[in-house]
Structure 1
């Protein structure tokens, strides 16, 4: 049976309801000093507002070592009534120190599997996906290392692999590595940020391969491309790929724009005017239920 692994345990996919498929309740990185998302009260407020606008679940893509606050997620989920999915994985090397990364050599896949099956540290909260990242138009040695470990974790557990595409680039290289060389089924791969490089030809190629495309805005930092999202979604839906699309907020810093509720308060309406209610429902509910549901091993 396919189940979604939330911070409160495994649930039936339909229990996700309306899903913010890519966001961050907590995130701390030395690359963005002073912009940390660390406040529990603020996270609670975000979830309460999301719930008030019909939200049912939030998938937090914050990976290992970047302030996930996994131990705090179950209480937030219970208090707000919002299902939360946590991530394992590793971001780009620039988010970590060299000594930190050196300590993970030789055991990265094992770490991912442990967090997916036994829990994140003493919290016991199990992750429901693996998040990794590419670089700007390239996959460097760090990306290949982390994606190889993510593929091993997928093969051991069935977990989906979510990929940060730097400024929306490098999707085809990711597919060649993850799905070609490493054998991860495309339908288990979620590619984030393709809307930040609005190349409709590449987007169609990725969707045709069977991957999920996460359109994850709005963001002040990417406003130059965020406004093009409805056109990209329309083009993909008209090409027959409405079942491959997800929607997320991806608020990564304290000043990076609105939180999850904005997806439902403003973005949903804007998208419905462009592509219709049925496509947006698929993005928020049906596709998310399939993308994060796993026959766990």
Structure 2
């Protein structure tokens, strides 16, 4: 089979993907973030234009099922901005949903994921390219185990990558034990997000040694304490031989964080993070992390 990245405009060869923001959001809504929704298509277009102007070529949107993905709007945004977009299926932590919505998918979650990966999301015709799920703070509750079990079933049916929100960067090894140990997902199909939020260098190396992908996606929204440690964490992984397992993202979650609304937004990854990392790691490795690694991490042999 030929390996390809499933974008909202169709499958793309990894070598054609370009500079990638490996974790971000164009649209997102949640009861946990009232009044801070990402739901403005014009602002989304402006953000993509700013990212493109900074040298970006591709964005992986981790917004999953039931959180305002607006999948039908993504193809036109991708064409207009000239940026590859990947859409997600999956399910976040329970507090991001109403009980009624969770009841709608109970008993058929894996089927929902597979359908959105292979047939399309609703009537949009847009196929998802990743499954996004989430752990808890230093633990996996029943909801996380349910969603990750469904994600593993969807992976085995389609070969889709599984992207995991780690709460405050914790629980990585528990996630790997479940997904890769109990559920049989190959580690190279798992992407762990938010490692920058918990700069535990020993844990980072242990997770990387499993063969999974480690995403450093910020800056921190709560405080700056972990941001200045991130280059050291990435450098330590590179020096330990894991430069080929690293990804970088922006994770813009609320409207005020967009660059067009005064926040760092998507361009920050290339305007500020990239040169900071280049000074620590060298431009060649940073190019690999932004271009080569995403091309391999998000490609699948789709079934």
TM-score tier, shorter chain, comes to over 0.9
Residue 253, structure 1, aligned to residue 254, structure 2: yes
1:226 maps onto 2:227 in alignment = yes
What does residue 149 of structure 2 align with? 148
2: CA distance between counterparts of 1:32 and 1:227? 26
Give the Å deviation of 1:222.
4.3
Q: Which residue of 2 aligns with 1:279?
A: 285
Is 1:213 aligned with 2:214? yes
Match of 2:297 in 1: 291
Q: TM-score, normalised by structure 1?
A: 0.99
How far apart are the structure 1 equivalents of 2:264 and 2:118?
33
The answer to whether the 8 Å contact 1:193/1:215 transfers is: yes
- Regions of 4+ moved over 4 Å: none
Paired residue secondary structure (2:37): coil
Long gaps (5+) in structure 2: 258-262
2:243 & 2:72 partners in 1: Cα distance?
36
Q: For residues 83-102 of structure 1, what are the structure 2 equivalents within 5 Å?
A: 83-102=84-103
1:131 Cα deviation from its structure 2 partner: 0.1
User: Secondary structure of 1:47's partner?
Assistant: helix
When the two structures are aligned, how many residues end up with a matched partner?
297
1:269 aligned residue? 275
Whether the aligned pair in 1 keeps the contact of 2:215 and 2:247 (CA below 8 Å) is yes
What is the aligned partner in structure 2 of residue 119 from structure 1?
120
- Give how far 1:295 is off: 0.5
SS in 2 for 1:223: coil
Long gaps (5+) in structure 1: none
Give the Cα separation in 2 of the matches to 1:162 and 1:114.
18
Q: Is the 8 A contact 1:134 1:143 kept in 2?
A: yes
Aligned residue for 1:224, secondary structure, equals coil
Do the aligned residues in 1 keep the contact of 2:220 with 2:226 (CA within 8 Å)?
A: no
In 2, are the aligned partners of 1:191 and 1:213 still within 8 Å (CA)? Answer: yes
CA-CA distance at 1:230 after TM superposition: 0.3
Distance in 2 (alpha carbons) for counterparts of 1:14 and 1:217:
25
Q: How do 1:57-136 and structure 2 match up within 5 A?
A: 57-136=58-137
Contact 1:219/1:251, CA 8 A, preserved across alignment: no
Deviation track 1:155-195 (CA, whole Å, cap 9, x = no partner) reads: 00000000000000000000000000000000000000011
What value does the CA root-mean-square deviation take over the aligned residues? Answer: 0.8
| Contact 2:197-2:220 at 8 Å conserved across structures | no
State how far apart, in whole Å, the 2-side matches of 1:17 and 1:194 are: 23
Q: How far does residue 221 in structure 1 lie from its aligned partner after superposition?
A: 2.1
